[in-house]
């Protein structure tokens, strides 16, 4: 299935004030006080603005930070990185490729056995789609992610 993922004025107008602050103004939501930091349901996370598939629950782990954290993106081409030295930290900002939404940051202190990266995201930048709703929501091709123990997408 082909999707056209993009940022549109209509999508921006539907954002809550917090979603706008995070995605458009590169804000950060409070730790442990956001929608997905402790979500354990199977599914995928997409950009709240463009709908681009970004992360899967099979690659989510509890980093103890209070934000949803992943070891890798479900679609690497949908995640772009840029340097960020705001707030006195030296990190790498993570943005969605087509929506240009600020998502969070990536650090090199993640689980070594899973590649060593920690993608620390803002729930306000994400929309969660439950595994059982993937077909209905137009993301049925991602059901296969849940059939592989490492979360790798298979194009077989």
Which pLDDT score, from 0 to 100, does residue 154 have? Answer: 46
Per-domain residue ranges of the chain: 9-147
Q: How far is it, in rounded angstroms, from Cα 104 to Cα 155?
A: 28
- pLDDT for 84 beyond 90: no
Q: What is the mean pLDDT of the chain?
A: 90
Stated pTM of the model: 0.89
- pLDDT for 68 beyond 90: yes
To the query of whether residue 120 is one of the catalytic residues in this protein, the response is: yes
Which pLDDT score, from 0 to 100, does residue 145 have? Answer: 92
Catalytic: which of 46, 56, 79, 120? 120
Which pLDDT score, from 0 to 100, does residue 65 have? Answer: 95
* CATH fit for domain 9-147, picks 3.40.1080.10, 2.170.150.20, 2.40.170.20, 3.40.50.300: 2.170.150.20
Q: What is the pLDDT of residues 89-106, one digit of tens each?
A: 556 999 999 999 999 999
CB-hemisphere CA count at 13 Å for 25? Answer: 11
Q: What is the pLDDT of residues 124-136, one digit of tens each?
A: 999 999 999 999 9
Q: Are strands 79-84 and 91-96 parallel, antiparallel or unpaired?
A: antiparallel
Q: What is the pLDDT of residues 9-40, one digit of tens each?
A: 999 999 999 999 999 999 999 999 999 999 99
The residue written with tokens 């299935």 in the block is 1
Beta-bridge partner residues of 104: 94, 121
Q: What is the 3 state secondary structure string of the chain?
A: CCCCCCCCHHHHHCCCHHHHHHHHHCCCCCCCCCCCCCCCCCEEEEECCCCCEEEEHHHEECCCCCCCEECCCCCHHHEEEEEECHHHCCEEEEEECCCCCEEEEEECCCCHHHCCCEEEECHHHEEEEEHHHCCCCCCHHHHHHHHCCCCCCCCC
């Amino acid at each position: 299935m082909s999707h056209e993922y993009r940022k549109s004025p209509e999508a921006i107008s539907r954002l809550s004030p917090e979603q706008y602050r995070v995605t458009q103004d590169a804000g950060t939501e409070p730790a442990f006080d956001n929608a997905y930091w402790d979500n354990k349901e199977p599914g995928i996370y997409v950009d709240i603005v463009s709908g681009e598939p970004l992360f899967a629950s099979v690659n989510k782990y509890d980093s103890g930070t209070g934000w949803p954290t992943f070891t890798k993106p479900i679609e690497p081409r949908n995640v772009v990185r840029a340097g960020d030295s705001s707030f006195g930290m030296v990190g790498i900002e993570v943005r969605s490729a087509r929506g240009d939404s600020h998502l969070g940051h990536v650090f090199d202190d993640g689980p070594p056995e899973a590649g060593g990266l920690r993608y620390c995201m803002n729930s306000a930048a994400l929309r969660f789609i439950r595994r059982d709703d993937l077909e209905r929501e137009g993301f049925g091709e991602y059901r296969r992610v849940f059939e592989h123990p490492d979360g790798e997408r298979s194009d077989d």
